[in-house]
Amino acid sequence: MDVAPDLRGTSIFLLGMKSSIKTQLAKLLAELLRYYYFDSDGLVEEAAGGEASAKLFQETDEQGFRESETEVLKQLSSMGRLVVCAGDGAVQSSTNLGLLRHGITIWIDVPLDIIAGEATKSDAESGKSHAEMNQKLELTQLAAMYEKLRGGYATADVTISLQRIVSLAGYDDFDAVTAEDMAMEVLKEIEKLTRVKKMMEKAGRPF
């Protein structure tokens, strides 16, 4: 499905909580569309001097950190031919939501228990103690964050639900879903959006 010509270089912003499937999907879409891939959180961290510095920056000067997020989004939204993994800050202000309107926004909706499991696995691999015991706490914290951010996610042009893909494909579990499965759904939705846009443009033309 070649939707790239109809996109005319319009950038794509992937919203949703941080997960490996979201990152894999963004990279695959960039490859398929011949776009450039960026992670907005990664750019904020880079500007702050690294992950540890960015975390300290957020804890000591949250307003300054949010302004840095906005500046990164401002730069990305002024460019074309990008697939951007947008961080949570992208949906936490009207300014940032406005910047996202320069492209197509897609909410990658992944069940919280999967995201919590990934975080727990990461903790275990990094040597943190009681990682398994912390999964329940991680899930509680993620649920609270999800409720806070859900309104912003819901402004997306399209929602791609991992749960729905599992159901439609008849898979037994979430692990069976591949980035290719997700990409196909995204491309189908983008094709619908571009088709509607072309119809509206045609309808607006004088006879």
Dihedral sign for Cα 35, 196, 162, 70, please: positive
Burial of 45 (0-12, 13-18, 19+ CB in 10 A): buried
pLDDT for 206: 60
Would you mind telling me the total number of residues written for the chain in this entry?
A: 207
Quick one: how far is CA 25 from the chain centroid?
A: 9
Name the residue among 93, 76, 99 with its Cα closest to residue 148.
93
Q: What is the pLDDT of residue 1?
A: 54
Q: Give me the pLDDT at residue 5, please.
A: 87
Q: In the CATH hierarchy, which top-level class contains the domain 7-111+153-191?
A: alpha beta
pLDDT tens string for the chain (207 positions)?
588 888 999 999 999 999 999 999 999 999 999 999 999 999 999 988 888 888 888 788 888 888 999 999 999 999 999 999 999 999 999 999 999 999 999 999 999 989 988 877 765 555 555 555 566 777 888 999 999 999 999 999 999 999 999 998 899 999 999 999 999 999 999 999 998 888 887 787 664
Task: Determine the pLDDT at residue 122.
Answer: 62
Which is it for strands 36-39 and 82-85: parallel, antiparallel or unpaired? Answer: parallel
